[in-house]
Amino acid sequence: MSITKTICYCLLFSYTTAFISCRQSVSNTPKSSSTVNVTDFRGVEITLPKPAKRIICLIESALSGIYMLQAENQIIGISSGVYNKSTFAQYAVLDERIKNKTLPAPGNWDFVNIESIVALQPDLVIIWASQTESIESIEKHGIPVYGVLLKSVNDIYKEIHDFGIMTGKSQRADSLISYSRNEISQLRSTIKIAEIEKKNIYFMWTQGLLETAGTTSTVNELIEFAGAKNSCRTSKEHVVINKERLLDWNPDIIVMWYDPLKSPDDIVKLSEIQHIKAIKYKQVYELPSVFLCDLWTLKFPYAIKQLAKWCYPTSTEGLNMDTEKQKMLVKLYGEKGEKLIK
């Protein structure tokens, strides 16, 4: 072999080796520290090149979490329900754009305007995981989607934890989660009720007296955190019963979800259930506004404290609900929480 050919082969070998080495170096390079990775409630991994700065959130409770994280400036679209619900007044305090109705609302839990979403050019959309058709349409446009499904308190913690990562607010998310856990822990250490002494609570949804929550629901967790027992032992989230079953359960207390059209007095006056203990002793209560007692946000400890107060007034004598409300709003919403108190 000539000297010239030998030199050429040597050079080719050197270039090839260098190229392979370079490729290996690139492939082994770790992802950028700013890359965001979370797994949503569908089990789908969401990867963002950096924390999201243009977020469309089509879930009211999830939106509340983002405001708690103080990431409201990263919101460019909300659920239309925010403008229609009783929570509008509180969101108007939290965000001037909502107050002036200038923040786009391209959908809600049952309708999503895909064209409007695409036109807003979001880098993240937050939506219920059950809205599969809308999710598929959004993802076809290359837009990342985080699907939400909340069935337990731990799901709420996961949601806030993931939102903290996706918005670049992890430290605040961890702080708020710790706060909520501590609030529950302190309450449970105060209320130590023997099994035989636990109150039976019947929870009533706004759809009517005979619509309640089963054992696989957030409501059931709240009742148990309050040191009480759920009258409904059916392993479902939402349960429709008959009058005879309610009479048979004979609950100590009836707790109503907030209903602007009904009051506890309306339930106490129902002639067909006069024989149950909750009616006899006028132990029928209604949770405060939806905004204050949103069971699918980190505000759920407030509802638990209210349940405990109704069930065990002696054990919770030192618990002032007005003080608890003020403390919660300031902790969760910061300076804007003070405005919500007024």
Domain C-terminal end among 103, 134, 168: 168
Q: Which of 153, 168, 183 is the last residue of a domain?
A: 168
Asked, for residue 8, whether it belongs to a domain, the answer is: no
Structural domain of 56? 36-168
pLDDT in the model for residue 61:
94
**pLDDT value at position 33?**
60
d(CA 320, CA 276): 29
Give the pLDDT of residue 217.
93
Q: How many domains are contained in the chain?
A: 2
- Residue 25 inside a domain? The answer is no
Confidence at residue 188, expressed as pLDDT on a 0 to 100 scale: 87
Do 153 and 202 fall within a single domain? no
Final residue belonging to a domain, choices 168, 186, 212: 168
pLDDT tens for the chain, residues 1 to 342: 443 433 333 333 343 343 333 333 333 334 456 799 999 999 999 999 999 999 999 999 999 999 999 999 999 999 999 998 788 999 999 999 999 999 999 999 889 999 999 999 999 999 999 999 999 999 999 999 999 999 999 999 999 999 999 999 999 999 999 999 999 999 988 887 777 789 999 999 999 999 999 999 999 999 999 999 999 999 999 999 999 999 999 999 999 999 999 999 999 999 999 999 999 999 999 999 889 989 999 999 999 999 999 999 999 999 999 999 999 999 999 999 998 987
Residue 203 token pair: 């929870």
**For residue 17, what pLDDT is reported?**
40
1 inside domain: no
User: What's residue 189's pLDDT?
Assistant: 87
Are residues 336 and 198 part of one domain?
yes
315 shares a domain with 260: yes
